Structure 1
């Protein structure tokens, strides 16, 4: 039935939909978190169903927001509308979330909040409010919601757990922001109910053929059934003439509204257009603007009398499509006039962004002052964490700018803002527009830099390095600091691309970077770039000292969070290049901490994967499992593809062939599609570890050769050399083993660390005999024993024990093999443990096989929660790290306590010690 926006309606049919929504409400009342997208074409009754649901939400507190097409460029406008009534609770949130939400809403000054930190803050705020009373959040017309709000609410919808919160979205088509949320798709009414509804719209009898035609052509669309007959002539209603139905249904509904508007007096139509252009519906503002246009209050009566709009304290329309029709049916000059009046009536101090937007819409042609206002609005949007809004302001500013250079600057800045938001397609569209402008050399270089960054960030690994290399060369004479930064990005992109890079290999980038002028007092960025370029161009020995200097500078410097984020990843590479695992881990842990605090969740999974690699390599499988679970959670939240690197390495070190082999194959296949050659090298390296653990040395040799020869400049290729030496000596391919050892020694000797020299000694022992071999095995055990890499120490004991057994020194062999077996069992490295067990049996020792895996093994998510709880974090702190509410964390902990047989946190440490196998599977 017809109504004004937000007014009660009477529904016809929709029995099954209402039953589902009633069940939804019952689940929320019972304490479950639920989310749903109610989708369907315009006019199908989404808003009516949402109104009905809200009216029946007994016992629930209802919060509502409706997307406004003209508010789509105002960051967090919709979110503020929804959360406004709850802001008195914001102080209950963790401090970073408080600041993020207050900054997003313009209530406090601070660094631009990360979009998912805002989402986490909203989840915590809703969770806090739901402790008092279950919540129903109704989000109508989501397709017109500003993107920052849509992203935050989509995040919340996917993270609802044990909180009594329901979120229902109304949208014509579900957007990317609510991907994965359950959908209920509306169709038209059945013919019987369509005829029933049509009768409400008619004031007299209707020809039966026309009635059937209207029902058929509207396909049961309720709004069309109500609105189209209003504008049909008497002749059409009598005989059906003039109703061909060729236009799309939504267009026909809008045309019907337009015809109803055409029947109004001129000043009423202009008032309706004015109201449609100001989505806030604020009556005082609209009447101030109306007075500037010479429109009196009397003009509202004709629209009110026919039910098109209500001019009360808040001005509302009968339907959002009517608002759209009112705006679109006005002439361009009329639209500019109403926007001009609204701009003059909007307070520049309290609402400068809306004023700037109205002023821009009022401009015919160019206006540098209006463009400057928009540029300031973009800056404020950036500060609030709304890059999409900033981009929209900058694009509009470009359209109003006369000077070509300034116009190009605005477009490049807009492209950069879209880059920050992950809108890569729009970045490329804007760069195509920029190309038509007369660009300066610096602008051209900035455009190439953006193209390269898009290629790298969007997963097109082989495309990024040559574009970034080109941009870096262009920037050298223009901005040397930016050139160095671009060379670093090109180096990293080339490392990820590996052998799949075309025209921008590590060697290409490194040679170009080596030609840069040297500063008298180089900063951290210059030191790291010089070190990374030198190791590729001049070799490990020549680069060792510079690498150590660069790592020390980064480790010892009192870096700001911004500097850690800017240079941290490159410092990791320098540390790994010198086999400096201690500083590598320190740098990774520092960067993870900074990323978590900053809410930089686009980068965090990548760094967690690297930290998980060194943690797994150290045999801390429970800790690395938790890291990989966190990374997977973040990817689920952000919509980024989850990286298989960590889980693949973990499965290989555990010796779980059933899990590992499919992961290895999928990693290689995906890498070849995206051009990420580093993943191919990594997958073959861990495959070699797996096959060596299983004693299948021919397969291990093939994988190690593939890893060491592909992307040979990469550090991962060097990691595969100890595997190659072991597999080659076991298969009798001594020349291959000797060549691999020579490559390994060149790097490990230059690095001079116990990790590198220990692996070299172990590998050299395999190619030696007699006292020399024994001395080298003992050196490997001594050196690796001083490192955190317990799996490599266990393997040194295993290889030494195998050598002793073959030398018929059974008693000595048993000691080494027992040590290895106990270490592998303790670590959860089942295949290596079985290999040690078989060797022990050959010495005459009786050894039991490892026990079967417990059915009560903790999930990866539970493992992470347990790790964080045992570290002393509170439920809200755990929730902030895992993107869960504190109540959901509490629910998971209760499940974990059941598996561990405990009842409180106080018992957690002891239970974990007694049930360590639950975490190491």
Structure 2
């Protein structure tokens, strides 16, 4: 499956060979990547070719001329095995004989294992094939100074040799394989399969043969397929003792393993063995200022090596590694060296976990407690440590790791703490309503006024806020504050949920009023205050104070402490919304990509659903409907796991945005009118309706539903505000409705009032541009073309800056703006960046602002080399010569 481009290239070379011009193809890639399959498919399509195929010996050092001898035999020739040059002459003669009958497909597999003498003769011979109708395809793994060296002994493979490197399959190819195997593979699960296997067809096939994809990727790290493990185990068993000991040392020490440490663990021959492992593709060499390191090419190989290492050998390696390391790494090795319970070590780990919690390092603390549980000789202590470890993992948004302990938690005796953890694990599975029910049971079981009960109340407040039940969220959080006022961290989180609950019941301004204890500058917030800072940012955005919201949410999202991870991706989601409304769409995409990377590691399914929905909205705004629908498909799939209504909001908004960009108002209404108190929680509608009411009113006007639009505008007027965003939106749709009804004076007054609204809390560029578009159209209609085109040109400039192609095209069509001084299409961001990816467009824009590569890398959370890579692509696509030309192009726009 897949490899359409590579197969087409090979077919074209075959046609060249039919015309009398020989061709040499060097086909390389990792084991299992599909080299043999591609050659099989090529051969199946070349019925008029004679197939000559052989491979290098599979094990041991091949004697001189061994591969050539095999080639001669496959071609039906004869030669002297101990004289490689004579074997080459015999091979050339055999190919000449076959050429007289018709074209020849000459294939040698696994050439990376060929003897040097055969390689030298083959290079010499294949450069002389030109008069023959021979397509030579040589396959193997890429190795430094190996068979692919184009300037090696004998002068290389010839100037016309074609190299085809096979990377892993694309996501689309993996999807095709999934369908061909008869497996149910949704968009998200296929994406995960591609990530797990790196697109390696052999690995993909092994997973599909053994696993149901949705179950495999629910949460947590999937088990490797047994067939892959068995194949690796057989390969490892065939290794000599020295390299195998180095691999075992690597697996025990951890990635990456310094070569100096491996020498201590595996003996003085470790450097020599390491070179052999690298050459065999079983290890990867890295180097930095601290020296050389070895790492495994895949987690599957590391896990297979570790599992296959004898227990006594593992313990000895860990004991030795403990003397070479410190900190948390040393604790891990001390645990690995134990043979049964070790109460003293368990107590020491418990103390280390307490110190880590005091520092706010929840993940290391959880790991110490997991190890302490393993070393405990008391079942009660072990159970308490397990419960504390799982709770910390949930608080740190490590749901996959937490769920690994589900069976162990179920085996614990009944207790309030066990019920609490069962509730938190249900939350990890996206069963938010189920989590509420279990936490309510845990609360009833916990002693009144205890720290445990207060903690459960805080957890309940979070769950109630997810369920859109503001009154219950506020009550639970306030109860925690009353019961444990002396616990500053717990109280700080409880105050965040008091604000969230109050906002749901009484509106965002009321929620903001509860957060007066926060410092004015977000950077001054202490780590325990970050959940409350997140809530202040969310609520500020909802009332239209977009710039202060961005400041709060940026700090909360960037600092990403365990206290904010407990809130999932809330800060990131609302940060993207604020950038979107401010007309900062590149910044919105940048924040979204950072958030999606975080969600891939620590996100819940409903986080993925919301983030993918936002991605769909951004794509739709730029006219990229196919990409928007692809994101929406993934979002819909991820939302299916949730047992509450929250994800429906973002899904509906994404559906509506796609329809709005395409100019289909009926579909907009179909999507957004589902966001009513009858379909989702009334508290949630009350808090968030400012997100969708302007689009509803706009679409109702397009359809001539004037009375319905008036009701929507009245409802929008009741949304509490403290900034200019929604007042500008209200002026836009109010002016549109008045113009549709023929009240031109009222429409003009509303539009003018909207343009005059000061940018309090940030300039709502998106709604202001929509208003200017509508006002410009009205002015043209009533006979004021000069002013109308000026207003439309202003709208066009904003749409162009955003890259909002569908809206720009409509505005231009409505007023023929180009004739009156608007930007030329070639200079509009939505047009001159055609063909650039989102990341390339983003980097180009930052270069235009004078940023250096290190500054761009820091802003985008990528390496400077990645920035350089994207810039090279930008230069090529835009046909410009360098940074200065790119900066000039961007600044001209």
> Normalising TM by the smaller chain, what interval?
0.5 to 0.7
1:425 counterpart residue number: 403
1:801–1:813 contact (8 Å) kept in structure 2 = yes
Of structures 1 and 2, the one with the larger relative CO (CA 8 A, separation 6+) is 1
- Residue 395 (structure 1) aligned to one of 373, 376, 384: 373
Which residue is equivalent to 2:810? 835
Q: CA contact under 8 A between 2:455 and 2:480: conserved in structure 1?
A: no
Q: Check whether the contact 2:579–2:587 (CA below 8 A) recurs between aligned residues.
A: yes
| Corresponding residue number in structure 1 for 2:497 | 529
CA positional deviation for 1:577: 3.8
Q: Which stretches in structure 1 are left out of the alignment for 5+ residues?
A: 1-8, 56-62, 72-76, 88-132, 143-152, 179-249, 255-271, 286-313, 315-345, 496-504, 917-921
> Is 1:66 paired with 2:248?
yes
Correspondence for 1:454: 425
Is the Cα contact below 8 Å between 1:40 and 1:171 reproduced in 2? no
Is 1:278 matched with 2:316?
yes
Tell me the TM-score normalised to structure 1 length: 0.58
Match among 727, 731, 734 for residue 757 of structure 1: 727
Q: Does 1:408 align with 2:380?
A: no
Offset, 1:587: 1.2
* Offset from partner CA, 1:573-622 (integer Å, 9 cap, x none): 32234332222111122223323x99999989764443233223322233
Does the 8 Å contact 1:870/1:908 carry over to 2?
yes
Measured in 2, the distance between the counterparts of 1:682 and 1:16 equals: 51
- Give, in whole Å, the separation in 2 of the partners of 1:423 and 1:734: 53
Query: Does the residue aligned with 1:707 lie in a helix, a strand or coil?
Result: coil
Match of 1:486 in 2: 459
- Deviation of 1:478 after TM superposition, in Å, equals 1.9
What secondary structure, in the 3-state scheme, does the structure 1 residue paired with 2:683 have? Answer: coil
Q: 1:615 to 1:535 in 2, by over 3 A?
A: closer
Give matches, 1:281-430, under 5 Å: 361-363=339-341, 368-369=343-344, 371-376=346-351, 386=364, 389-398=367-376, 400-401=377-378, 404=380, 406-416=381-391, 419=394, 420=396, 421=398, 422-430=400-408
284 and 514 in structure 1: CA distance in 2 versus 1, 3 angstrom threshold: closer
Matched, 1:578 2:565: no
Alpha-carbon distance between aligned partners in 1 of 2:745 and 2:401, rounded to the nearest angstrom: 63
Q: 1:730 to 1:430 in 2, by over 3 A?
A: same
Kindly state the Cα deviation for residue 455 of structure 1 after the two structures are TM-superposed. Answer: 3.6
- 1:46 corresponds to 2:228: no
Q: CA deviation at 1:567?
A: 3.4
Deviation at 1:795, TM superposition (A): 0.8
Unmatched runs of 5 consecutive residues or more in structure 2? 1-58, 68-108, 114-138, 151-164, 168-197, 204-227, 264-273
Shift of 1:510: 4.3
606, 611, 619: which is aligned to 2:575? 611
Distance 1:645 1:766, change over 3 A: same
**Any residues of structure 2 matched to 1:142-153 within 5 Å, and which?**
none
CA distance in 2, matches of 1:889, 1:78: 30
Alignment of 1:112-123 (within 5 A): none
- 1:835, CA displacement in angstroms? 2.7
In 2, Cα distance between equivalents of 1:743 and 1:638: 38
Is residue 678 of structure 1 aligned with residue 646 of structure 2?
Answer: yes
Match of 1:724 in 2: 696
Alpha-carbon distance in 1 for matches of 2:702, 2:328: 78
1:217-257 deviation per Cα after TM superposition (whole angstroms, max 9, x unaligned): xxxxxxxxxxxxxxxxxxxxxxxxxxxxxxxxx99xx9xxx
Offset at residue 514 of structure 1 (A): 6.2
Change (3 A) 1:892 1:85: farther
Structure 1 residues 578 and 424, CA gap change in structure 2 (3 angstroms):
same
Measure the CA separation in 2 of the matches of 1:274 and 1:374.
23
Q: Does 1:688 align with 2:664?
A: no
Q: CA deviation at 1:650?
A: 1.0
Q: Residue 563 of structure 1 is aligned with which of 509, 517, 528?
A: 528
Q: State whether structure 2 residue 750 is matched by structure 1 residue 776.
A: yes
**Aligned CA distance change for structure 1 residues 395 and 810 (closer, same or farther; 3 Å):** same
CA distance in 1, matches of 2:147, 2:435: 47
Change in CA separation of 1:621 and 1:875 when aligned onto 2, cut-off 3 Å: same
Q: 1:609 to 1:903 in 2, by over 3 A?
A: farther
Query: CA deviation digits over 1:808-830, x for unaligned, max 9?
Result: 65555444334323432343222
What's the CA shift string for 1:787-816, capped at 9, x where partnerless? 422121011112223444555655554443
Query: Per the alignment, do residues 463 and 895 of structure 1 end up closer, same or farther by CA in structure 2, a change over 3 Å counting?
Result: same
Aligned residue among 687, 704, 717 for 1:745: 717
Q: Distance in 2 between matches of 1:603 and 1:907?
A: 44
The one of 247, 254, 257 aligned to 1:78: 254
Corresponding residue SS for 1:740: helix
- Counterparts of 2:798 and 2:501 in 1: how far apart (Å)? 39
The match for 1:23 is: 142
Who is 1:799 aligned against?
774
CA spacing shift, 1:524–1:557, aligned 2, 3 Å: farther
Contact in 1 for aligned 2:390/2:405 (Cα 8 Å): yes
Displacement, 1:426?
Answer: 2.1
Report the CA distance shift for 1:743/1:273 in structure 2 as closer, same or farther (over 3 A).
closer
CA distance in 1, matches of 2:734, 2:861: 48
Contact kept? 1:805, 1:813, Cα under 8 Å: yes
Give yes or no for contact 1:374–1:397 (8 Å, CA) kept in 2: no
Distance in 1 between residues matched to 2:313 and 2:305, nearest whole Å: 29
Equivalence map 1:505-524=2 (5 Å): 505-506=469-470, 508-510=472-474, 512-513=476-477
For the residue of structure 2 that corresponds to 1:612, the secondary structure is helix
Mapped contact 1:687–1:700 kept (Cα < 8 A): yes
State the alpha-carbon separation in 2 of the partners of residues 730 and 912 from structure 1: 36
| 1:759 CA drift (Å) | 2.1
2:791: which partner in 1? 816
Supply the distance in 2 between the matched residues of 1:857 and 1:599 (Cα, whole angstroms): 41
Question: 1 CA distance for matches of 2:312 and 2:494?
Answer: 57
- Confirm or deny: 8 A CA contact 1:682 1:716 kept in the other structure: no
Q: TM-score, normalised by structure 2?
A: 0.60
CA shift digits 1:824-844 (9 cap, x unpaired): 234322222233234326999
Q: 2: CA distance between counterparts of 1:864 and 1:630?
A: 13
Alpha-carbon distance in 1 for matches of 2:467, 2:786: 51
- 2:527 touches 2:563 (CA, 8 Å); kept in 1? no
| CA distance, structure 2, for counterparts of residue 599 and residue 22 of structure 1 | 47
Distance 1:613 1:165, change over 3 A: farther
* Partners of 1:765 and 1:772 within 8 A in 2: yes
Contact kept? 2:314, 2:336, Cα under 8 Å: no
- How many Å separate the matches in 1 of 2:559 and 2:330? 34
Deviation at 1:525, TM superposition (A): 4.4
The 2-side partners of 1:431 and 1:494 are apart by 25
**How many residues in Structure 1 have an aligned counterpart in Structure 2?**
656
C-alpha distance in 1, partners of 2:861/2:630?
29
Question: How far apart are the structure 2 equivalents of 1:526 and 1:598?
Answer: 15
Describe the shift of the 1:707–1:451 C-alpha distance in structure 2 as closer, same or farther (beyond 3 A).
same
Kindly state the Cα deviation for residue 736 of structure 1 after the two structures are TM-superposed.
Answer: 2.6
